[in-house]
Amino acid sequence: MKIGSNYLGEGRCEFTVWAPAHDEVAVQIVSPANRLVPMQKDEQGYFKTLAEGIEPGTLYFYKIAGDDRPDPASHYQPKDVHGPSQVVDHSQMNWTDASWSGIPLEEMIIYELHVGTFTPEGTFEAMISRLRELREFGVNAIEIMPVAQFPGDRNWGYDGAYTYAVQHSYGGPESLKKLVDAAHREGLSVILDVVYNHFGPEGAYYSLYGPYFTEMYKTPWGMAMNFDDKYSDGVRNYFIENALYWFQNYHFDALRLDAIHAIYDLGAKHVLQEMAEKVEAFSQSGGRKLYLIAESDLNDVRVIREKELGGHGMDAQWSDDFHHVLHVLLTGEKRGYYQDFGSVEQLAKVYKDSFIYDWKYAPHRRRYHGSDASDRPGHQFVVCTQNHDQVGNRMLGERLTHLVSFDALKLAAGALLLSPYIPMLFMGEEYGEDSPFLYFVSHTDQDLVEAVRQGRKREFADFHAEGEFIDPFSVDTFAQSTLKWEKRQEGKHKVLLELYQHLIQLRRTVPALKTLEKQNLEASSVEEQQLLFLRRGSSGDQIFCIMNFNKNEVTCKPSTGGIWRKILDSSDEQWMGSGSTLPEKLIREQEVTIAPQSFVLYQLETLAE
């Protein structure tokens, strides 16, 4: 059931709100003329009315329990989270993407970005001028961190109080549509990060309307969403309709579902399965495949298995194991959950099996963790070397650029883009951005601001982080996190950008790299020397890669069984390396010496007879 304000044209608007415990709810029109419109309740607890004399831009509250409160499904909050909701006419946009069919999931190169810090202006429309440069670089899908209305004008987006409302400081609904339309013209798919596991702590009046929460489970943010308790139908509808809302009204190509491990549902049909079914039906009716990508800490293959096999039917999920083991190999950090990772053997396993922990004992968790995903195709997993969480949840917001050498940055690029998975870059990664990405908020409740400060301090203490605490409420904290885009054309930044670009080009043109399947993949390691050997094949084409995570050069004799031609060496002077010592042709069991923290890629010429 559609909820919120649904503008029908000619001054007619349908208002629908779920408030099952109430006997009376009315629409309080605030502007342009103050008036009260009564609503009628149906048997499912929805209050509805069809109001006349309502034009786009009309401001309104719901009169509920004697108070004026914003619409839980507000499409726009132009005066912040405590102000009135606004009627939006979604038919006004002149879309130009009628022939757009989207980028297939298996071909995606994802670029995660935060609207507020991606440009100095921090708006949707300011992003448009950078889309072509992203596409020419090699990206074909941008993933936008959450845009649901949050308090103030500075936030990562995970404190959204209105799941349907587009953040006013970014430009609002029409500007977001212009961005998506422009991205499609440039050949870019657009993924929206959505939060269905909690509401932000300020401005969320949901409990006044109905039982959106349950005490049956707890999340890191408090009570869990009510997806399987009494009156859960209205909550499920709220979020499933929201997924369809973004696809229908904003033409998004995919949704990234935040932290689905905090979405609890013990019912016979998990809410994620129901959502996947509804999105698939909508995809088929529109003739364009739309995707749901889950961020999950569970290492649970059921997230992506088909419903016929007992799964939720998500199209893809993240593999945090890939990031964690690569991060430890590059940085040596072993604090917190990183203590469960760090061997080259583990990286070889994640290349082959997608998860390291597939019902293995995880020391940090102090329990067995994960399930076997080795039979699932590579395009069902999104991997990265850094993302907003892994950077921004550090005390100083350090990127890999701050933590490792330039050679190690190049090695990270190779490890990511030569994998059989969907790669995701975090904005600025491709040129070694040296601005931090810090945690920032702009709550209007000062007690809440102080609570956030103290909470962050405790979190860093638990992680034994060192350094001077940076205030998340400070405007300077936000400003520091803005990209220095001009560095893309300077020195080492330019060279790193060109290496990423070259790797993406190889990924698209070399058959063995283009096909994201694991049947013809071999990965092995030599732990003492910190070497990884990766071999991938498809349609007669094969590649062989050596990755050296050692800070010293290593001599080895790989068993390749053929004649191989070198096509990329990160230690070449072209990539500001020390100069390659590896042969142009690798012949059978030939002894080679590989430079510290580097990788080399060979392509098969002939197999051994």
Q: Which residues make up each annotated binding site for substrate? A: 256-261, 320-324, 388-393
Find all residues with CB under 8 Å of 427, minimum gap 6, and list them.
Answer: 111, 112, 113, 114, 117, 118, 433, 483
Question: Catalytic site residue 295?
Answer: yes
DSSP assignment of 375-429, as one string?
TS-GGGEEEES--HHHHHTSTT---HHHHS-HHHHHHHHHHHHTSSSEEEEETTG
Contact present, 36 and 227 (Cβ < 8 Å) = no
Nearest to residue 433, comparing CAs of 503, 498, 496, 501? 496
> How far lies 92's CA from each of 7, 54, 84, 144, 589, in Å?
11, 15, 21, 23, 66
Find all residues with CB under 8 Å of 555, minimum gap 6, and list them.
Answer: 591, 592, 593, 594
Tell me the three state secondary structure of residue 529: helix
Contact present, 328 and 392 (Cβ < 8 Å) = no
- Binding-site residues, in ranges, read 256-261, 320-324, 388-393
Contact present, 534 and 351 (Cβ < 8 Å) = yes
Annotated catalytic residue within 258, 300, 340, 433: 258
Nearest to residue 8, comparing CAs of 70, 91, 69, 82? 91
DSSP assignment of 258-274, as one string?
TTGGG----SSS-HHHH
Contact present, 344 and 525 (Cβ < 8 Å) = yes
Among all residues, which ones are annotated catalytic?
258, 295
